[in-house]
């Protein structure tokens, strides 16, 4: 069973702090990794994609990938209340590009 | 640039009825994926289609569920003889080509009474 694991949270951080979200995956054949944000009752919205080991930065977001450890993370700098949502980690299994999702980490940014 | 469209957004069916969910991919995208999200659970892959072809249906329940993506028109996910356990949010995602980012539609929330 190919799995993606996330801590369900909630992860609570104060406004302006750094939020750190983590994810591990079991399929060593996975090549592509994605972070989606999902507000309650809404559809997943792509935040970041990462394909190579190392860091990838986009604005306040940084994705980190370590294939040897089978670990993906998402850092959100200067967290805002509008960042409060569930963050879904997904791995492309490489087979027909279907995505395997974690159950998501709920982030709460407090004032 | 229109995104992925799904309709209806909300669908209520009684047990035993049929549900038809439609998905129109983004312009230029020829790959469609269907995912199901049960309450308080993660997204689960159901089926991957290209025009007129089912590429991978390994996530589809063996009975009552079918999907198609005809040459013309939207992709359709069909659920026959719905049961209460089918109540969920069904999301469609489209992709220009593998491996590429999948973009999700707004979803259809199915409620089975």
Q: What is the mean pLDDT of residues A28-41?
A: 92
Of B67, B65, B1, the closest CA to residue B29 belongs to B1
Surface-to-core class of residue B3, CB atoms within 10 Å of its CB (0-12 exposed, 13-18 middle, 19+ buried) = middle
Q: What is the model's pLDDT at position A33?
A: 94
CB pairs under 8 A between A and B: 58
Which of B41, B43, B48 is facing A96, going by the closest CB pair?
B48
* Best residue of B42, B92, B94 to probe chain A, by most A CBs closer than 10 Å: B42
pLDDT at B33 over 60: yes
Taking the CA of residue A100 and the nearest CA in chain B, the distance in Å comes to 7
pLDDT computed for residue A66 by the predictor: 96
Using the beta-carbon criterion (under 8 Å), do B43 and A96 form an inter-chain contact? no
Percentage of chain B surpassing pLDDT 70?
96
**pLDDT score recorded for residue B111:** 97
Chain A residues closer than 8 Å to B56 by CB: 95-96, 98
Q: In the predicted model, what is the mean pLDDT of residues A38-50? A: 94
| Cross-strand pairs, A5 | A24
Task: Give A16→chain B minimum CA distance, Å.
Answer: 28
- What pLDDT was estimated at residue A67? 94
Comparing A98 with A24, which gets the higher pLDDT? A24
- pLDDT above 60: residue B1: no
Among candidates A90, A111, A92, which has minimal Cα distance to A101?
A90
pLDDT tens-digit series, residues B40-94: 788 999 999 999 999 999 999 999 999 999 999 999 999 999 999 999 999 999 9
Question: What's chain A's average pLDDT?
Answer: 93
Whether B98 has its CB under 8 Å from any CB of chain A: the answer is: yes
Q: How far apart are CA A70 and CA B107, in angstroms?
A: 30
Helices and strands in chain B: count of H runs, count of E runs: 0, 11
C-alpha distance from A98 to closest chain B C-alpha (Å): 7
Measured between beta carbons, the chain A residues lying within 8 angstroms of B106 are: 42-43
């Amino acid at each position: 069973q190919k799995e993606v694991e996330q801590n369900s949270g909630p992860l609570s951080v104060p406004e302006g702090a750094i939020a750190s979200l983590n994810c591990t995956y079991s399929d060593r054949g996975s090549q592509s990794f994605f972070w989606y944000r999902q507000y309650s009752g809404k559809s997943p919205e792509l935040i970041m994609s990462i394909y190579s080991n190392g860091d990838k930065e986009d604005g306040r977001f940084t994705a980190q990938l370590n294939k040897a450890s089978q670990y993906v993370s998402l850092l959100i700098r200067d967290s805002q209340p509008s960042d409060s949502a569930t963050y879904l980690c997904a791995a492309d299994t490489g087979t027909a590009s279907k995505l395997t999702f974690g159950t998501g980490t709920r982030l709460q940014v407090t004032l | 640039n229109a995104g992925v469209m799904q309709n209806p957004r909300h669908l209520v069916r009684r047990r035993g009825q049929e549900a038809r969910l439609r998905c129109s991919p983004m312009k230029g995208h020829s790959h469609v994926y269907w995912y199901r999200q049960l309450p308080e659970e993660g997204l689960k892959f159901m089926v991957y289609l290209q025009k007129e072809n089912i590429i991978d249906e390994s996530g589809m329940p063996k009975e009552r569920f079918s999907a198609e993506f005809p040459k013309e028109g939207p992709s359709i996910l069909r659920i026959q003889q719905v049961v209460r356990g089918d109540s969920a949010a069904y999301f469609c995602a489209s992709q220009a080509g593998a491996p590429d980012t999948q973009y999700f539609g707004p979803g259809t929330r199915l409620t089975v009474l």
